[in-house]
Chain A
Amino acid sequence: AQKITQTQPGMFVQEKEAVTLDCTYDTSDPSYGLFWYKQPSSGEMIFLIYQGSYDQQNATEGRYSLNFQKARKSANLVISASQLGDSAMYFCAMRGHNFNKFYFGSGTKLNVKP
């Protein structure tokens, strides 16, 4: 069974500091992808970053990086130099190779303080 776990319901970070949002997963698929999405208060789902299970290097996209530790089955999102606009809900997701379904965690609500 596929499962995504986000253990931090809410987090605070000071503006301009870095923050790590945790994500662990469970899957029996040999090949899978890990994704992070941002959901601001307006409600839309915004894709941030992707990591493939066979990728040797951690993914980076601007201020976002993914700390991928395959043996520990974790895919934490690191946001550097937090901005007020980063305040949002963040979802970790996994897509297996079979059936191509996306599984989502319960989300982490990030609040950036000025």
Chain B
Amino acid sequence: NAGVTQTPKFRVLKTGQSMTLLCAQDMNHEYMYWYRQDPGMGLRLIHYSVGEGTTAKGEVPDGYNVSRLKKQNFLLGLESAAPSQTSVYFCASGSGGANTEAFFGQGTRLTVV
């Protein structure tokens, strides 16, 4: 019963490097989300997807790109990492409707030096 799995769990990048965070869910959810968590700011939505092949911007999309080529996977890319992108990243998935909760991955701690 895997739920939502994020890869990797930890990563250190140098400024200017690129990387991709992978999120995989096995619950057949239509909706998937990428959040970043910073102290005192809660979780802020980066990008989200309402179905395979769709993506949309959230509150803080700059510096990130996403893709959802398969329903079960949602990838978050950092093209040129900056120290301001040091954060904990969470992927979440959910089914449609306002009455169902989001299921979260375990988080990825990213440090950009």
Contact = CB atoms under 8 A, between A and B. Distances in A.
B101 interface: yes
A37 B94 CA distance: 15
Contacts of B99: 33, 50, 52
Residue among B94, B97, B98 with max Cβ neighbours from chain A (10 Å): B98
Residue among A93, A100, A106 with max Cβ neighbours from chain B (10 Å): A100
B43 interface: yes
A12 interface: no
A103 B97 contact: no
Contacts of B44: 104
Contacts of A33: 97-100
B53 interface: no
Nearest to A31: B98
Interface string B74-113: 0000000000000010101010111111111011000000
Given A44-B104, A44-B107, A101-B33, A106 B98 contact: no
A88 B35 CA distance: 19
A5 B101 CA distance: 19
Interface string B38-61: 001111110010100000101000
Interface residues of B, number: 28
Interface residues of A, number: 30
Contacts of A20: none
Contacts of B94: 95, 100, 102
Contact of B43 (A53, A97, A99, A104): A104
Contact of B88 (A6, A43, A107): A43
Interface in A15-55: 29, 31-33, 35, 37, 43-45, 47, 50, 52-53
Contacts of A104: 35, 42-44
Given A43-B88, A50-B99, A100 B31 contact: yes
Interface of B: 31, 33, 35, 40-45, 48, 50, 56, 58, 88, 90, 92, 94, 96-104, 106-107
